[in-house]
Structure 1
Amino acid sequence: MGQQTVNEPPVVEGPATQEFAPEVEKLINTVAKFTVLVSQKLPDDVAARLKELAEEETAPMAKMIYSTMARNQDLAWQLKRPSCQDTGLVQLFVRAGTDFPYLDRVDAAMKEAVARATKWSPLRLNTVETFDEYNTGTNTGSRSPWIYWQTIPDSDSLELDVYLAGGGCSLPGQGKTLMPGEGYEAAVKFVLDVMTSYGINACPPLLVGVGIGSSIDAAAYMSKAALMRPVGSHSANPKAAELETELKDAIDRIGLGPQGLGGQHSVMGVNIENSARHPSVLSVAVNTGCWSHRRGTIRIASDLSYELLTHKGVEL
């Protein structure tokens, strides 16, 4: 075989070559600064849950690991540096009001915001073009950042979840469409099989997102959306809420512990999202968030003022 060389990226118009109106510039900078914040500081619910797990832990090794995790977070915030060397691939959940005045610029603004956050944080350059195999150098690229869109009628605000999905916590992501008659027991078995096979790779304790519905793509989307819910929240469906608790207890009994080195807790929690389904089809999917679950939610008003819903008391 001949010598392999790294492909040179083609010359394309990137985010830095675009010009934006002053109002859109303000939107971009707000989202970029928030993305930097998410890379450096855990959301309030995750930080609180990790503290609870540390206090409940009895194994000396596990307690030491939780202490190290807490010190890691403190130093990341003090030094204004990303809290994990894998700063992830940026994924965005956009809930845009139909009356938000910059609705037609949101896609372009989000891409530019990620490129700026990459420089400011700085974020590790993790975006590689599939098949062409070159690093874009901006953490943006083809359909990257990946944006999940939802429009909200009669609203003039923009609500945004920023999620830094690391490679480790993405590794367990799997889905399966079950045969008719296998039922919910098979869905539970699938989740537990994923956790026993791959959970240790995702830096426990994990937040486990489970999607259950008709088609595999819908289940996969819901399992990722479940990770945007607060730790400790429960499904509005009582049966799904009960299953969340049962799955959490079952995965804890695996005994992964922090960083997979043993302990009382394997997960911060299990969040289930579900949809109506075809009577002969049941699909289930799993996605996980690592212990450093870098997720944040910001609400931006039509005048571009903002409220941080997950990082109270912090200003951008």
Structure 2
Amino acid sequence: MSTQGTAVLTDIIAKFVDHTSKYLPDDVVRKLKELSLQEETPLAKAIYETMMKNQELAGKLNRPSCQDTGALQYFLKCGTKFPYIDELAEILKNATFKATQEAPLRHNCVETFDEYNTGKNIGTGIPSIFWDIVPNDENLEVYTYMAGGGCSLPGKAKVLMPGEGYEGVTKFVLDIMTSYGLNACPPLLVGVGIGTSVEVASLLSKKALMRPIGSHNTNPKAADMERLLEDGINAIGLGPQGLTGKNSVMGVNIENTARHPSVIGVAVNVGCWSHRRGHIIFDKILNYKVTTHSGFKM
């Protein structure tokens, strides 16, 4: 494998991570503008105006849009014939460190038990890399995500008794939103995972946050539940930054698998209003396409 190609891929991913720290995805910007127009109180309107000013200054001053640039997570769909598959884990680590230096990103990697900050955003299991392997494919899809402290705080998972049904799932989600939702800087994107165990549900709930705002689960019943949960959480009235308002969420995304008949595994993860996720696709010669940020360029 060419050293030059490895360097090129590292550089592109580092610059993309840098970019996503400063500029929100296109769909998030559109949704925030839409929600701001629906607010009626002076306080809620002022908060949305401040959010927009914050994003303007992040671009103008070339600084991250939130001081908490998170712990980096990468969700991959990698073809078995993508030529850099063997080097990819190291490439992502190096890209993370490069972005940390150049953006710059806040140092958010503390070694558990040893209690020291590595100063590189690299440590044991960080950045987190989640693999989906695609047989007989030559491409690479990378979803980047900055998992901040505030938006990670509401994350919870549980296995329900089957008799609790989807009413139990709804109660679980709403209990989390009413107790922890305001800590995650609303309006939120809420990811719900439903599967056969806690680890399956947890990963699904985080993958749900990678979906575009306004998209829906392909199962009509799950899509109906997304809408019902969105209406229910909005009715809580958290509003922007949890200071009351008409809307609490940018959306609710549900991802699911089949499950064992005796259990319903359910998990919730949320993205804050500064939802810094990105999506970039590479072919085998490292041509790339970005789907989330129309303004990105090398």
Same-fold status (TM-score > 0.5): yes
- Mapping for residues 1-316 of structure 1, pairs under 5 Å: 21-316=3-298
CA shift at 1:60, angstroms? 1.0
Q: In structure 1, how many angstroms separate the alpha carbons of the residues matched to 2:127 and 2:158?
A: 25
Secondary structure of 1:119's match? helix
1:153 Cα deviation (Å)?
2.1
Q: Distance in 2 between matches of 1:81 and 1:53?
A: 25
SS of equivalent residue, structure 2 residue 194: strand
Q: 1:14 is matched with which residue?
A: none
Q: Given the two structures, how large is their TM-score scaled by the length of structure 2?
A: 0.98
Paired with 1:190 and 1:304, the residues of 2 have a C-alpha distance of 43
SS at 1:194 equivalent? helix
Number of equivalenced pairs: 297
Identity across matched positions, percent: 59
Over alpha carbons, which structure has the higher Rg? Answer: 1
Instruction: Please say if residues 19 and 296 of structure 2, whose CA atoms lie closer than 8 Å, have aligned partners that are also in contact.
Output: no
1:209-266 Cα offsets, whole Å, 9 max, x none, are: 0001111100000000000000110000000000000000000000000000010000
Distance (whole Å) between structure 1 residues aligned to residue 207 and residue 88 of structure 2: 20
Q: CA RMSD in A?
A: 0.9
CA distance in 2, matches of 1:262, 1:310: 29
TM-score by length of 1: 0.93
Matches of 1:77 and 1:308 in 2, distance apart?
18
Q: Deviations over 1:108-155 (max 9, x none)?
A: 000010000000000000100011111011000111100010111232
Tell me, what secondary structure is at the counterpart of 1:253?
helix
Amino acid of the structure 2 residue aligned with 1:278 = H
Q: Distance in 2 between matches of 1:47 and 1:180?
A: 39
- Structure 2, unmatched stretches of 5+, are none
Aligned-pair CA distance for 1:77: 1.1
Letter in 1 for 2:149: G
Q: Could you tell me which runs of 5 or more consecutive residues in structure 1 were left unpaired when the two chains were aligned.
A: 1-19
Q: Distance in 2 between matches of 1:102 and 1:72?
A: 37
Residue 9 of structure 1 is matched in structure 2 by none
Q: Does structure 1 retain, via aligned residues, the 8 Å contact 2:72–2:146?
A: yes
